[in-house]
Structure 1
């Protein structure tokens, strides 16, 4: 799943992922912002493959806009209502998270056949390049997230979270900043579990692609892309559950300690994302149809 689940209150997963660009319209033209995986970062595709993929992406975006976006708007409505009525609880956040995970999985299922077809058409050189890109990705993340001491990892994690929260809530109070520090400390060496599991998934993906002409390949890729949690290591499964619980607890506490101005800013930011969705041409066309 997206790295958002590790770094930001779970309730904002889709909102933040889709609002990462200055305009949702820009983000929406990049399908990898919407879905939990991307191939373009790891594959050097030839012209024919790029043209084929561009056409597929147009089809997938059209499907996504007409069938999925209305549900996103409803989800954002529930999110806004929860905040506006001061009903931010652990149970409510679990519900919003489950809904977000279902939405991501549904999109992953839709695009998986295209991924399978693309992967089956790779030559050996492209596969070797993909594997090297995976290795480079692992080295880079180990350098950034594991090389610093544990104390430094905790400090940097807290700083990243505070920076994101400042954007969505405005300046944090002393108590809120302390709560972020406590949250980051509670996660401990979570970076180790996250990166180990990422490497575990990439290794299985590479092994599957090496056998891309086998009859079992489509099912294997579907598992890797749609049901990737089923392949998690036991250690990471527990770590992920703990991380989500810590994120929910953080957000509940931050909201309980928030000012009217902070809540108003958060609602305004979410409304901005909602408006960008509503203004998308494809959605308007679908409503008129």
Structure 2
């Protein structure tokens, strides 16, 4: 269920992960309906209500949040052009990105509460069963490898993500990513453990979905998801954020001019997409161009 919230509402993650920002924004609502249908077959009334909520949330998001993203990208481009690529600068941009999430979570709470409180007992049972099945599949996939294979897979995933923004890495940068991946320890195991903890907390909350404080429980799950996932997860995330800032600082300082040019081009493209995703008072987005 965290993916329901993430895919539908955490717009920056959605947009940054799609080859076309405007295409991702156009189909965000249908993507969420597809995902919920995949895990929990919904009634026509539930689908209609969810679509209305997502349209309203997306309208708010593009009117209120996209301008903030555009301003952040402008500052990022300015820092890259000026060569201001110290770890403190990278950490500042990381903190700026993280600051985009709380408003989205808070705005999402009513829609999430309505959807979750409308679930029947049968749907809750299906959700629990499907989440357990998905969890087992992930554990089989990610924990079956030996530590060396896990490290190599992590390094490959990291390189793919970084190369979207910097282009093909040079040999020194690739060595840096490989060394960084070796130091991530049991990150995958802890992530899966935290995922299971959060899902169990959701199922426990759903048992009280008819109570007056259910909205508060949903709010807690959404706003304190790291705490819900456990102490090991909280420590891992704190360490991972610092480690990622260090990695990005190293990669930028090891970058050739072509890497910086690629980063500027990617930032400019995304900023242009944000700027052209203008919202109208009727609740639709201008997606032409």
TM-score by length of 2: 0.87
Distance across 2 between alignment mates of 1:134 and 1:211:
19
Aligned residues: 274
What is the match of residue 187 of structure 2? Answer: 190
1:151 aligns with 2:120: no
Matching residue within 257, 260, 266 for 1:260: 257
- Partner Cα separation in structure 2 for residue 148 and residue 33 of structure 1: 35
Secondary structure, counterpart of 1:187 in structure 2? coil
SS at match of 1:281: coil
Structure 1 length-normalised TM: 0.87
Q: Tell me how far 1:32 sits from its aligned partner.
A: 7.5
- Which has the larger displacement, 25-34 or 254-263? 25-34
Contact 1:65 1:283 survives alignment (8 Å)? no
Alignment of 1:61-100 (within 5 A): 61-100=58-97
Matches within 5 A, 1:17-96: 17-31=14-28, 42-96=39-93
C-alpha separation between the residues in 2 aligned to 1:29 and 1:112?
22
Q: Would you say the 8 A contact 1:108–1:226 is kept in 2?
A: yes
Deviation, 1:197, is: 0.5
Query: Deviation string for 1:90-128 (max 9, x for gaps)?
Result: 322332222222211101110111110111111011111
Q: Deviations over 1:127-178 (max 9, x none)?
A: 1111112112211211221111111100011011112223321221111110
Distance 1:150 1:236 in 2: 19
Equivalent position SS for 2:85: coil
Deviates more, 1:227-236 or 1:103-112: 227-236
Q: Which residue of 2 aligns with 1:164?
A: 161
After TM superposition, give the deviation of residue 14 of structure 1 in Å: 7.5
Contact 2:85 2:252 in 1 (8 A): yes
State the distance in 2 between where 1:127 and 1:162 align. Answer: 38
Where does residue 223 of structure 1 map in the other structure? 220
Deviations along 1:44-98, one digit per CA (max 9) or x if unpaired, are 2111111111111111111111111111111111222222222223322332222
1:246 to 222, 243, 246: 243
Query: What residue in structure 2 maps to residue 8 of structure 1?
Result: none
In 1, Cα distance between the equivalents of 2:30 and 2:179?
30
Q: CA deviation at 1:27?
A: 1.5
Equivalent residue for 2:6? none
Runs of 4+ in 1 over 3 A off after TM superposition: 13-17, 29-35, 38-42, 283-286
CA distance in 2, matches of 1:22, 1:259: 24
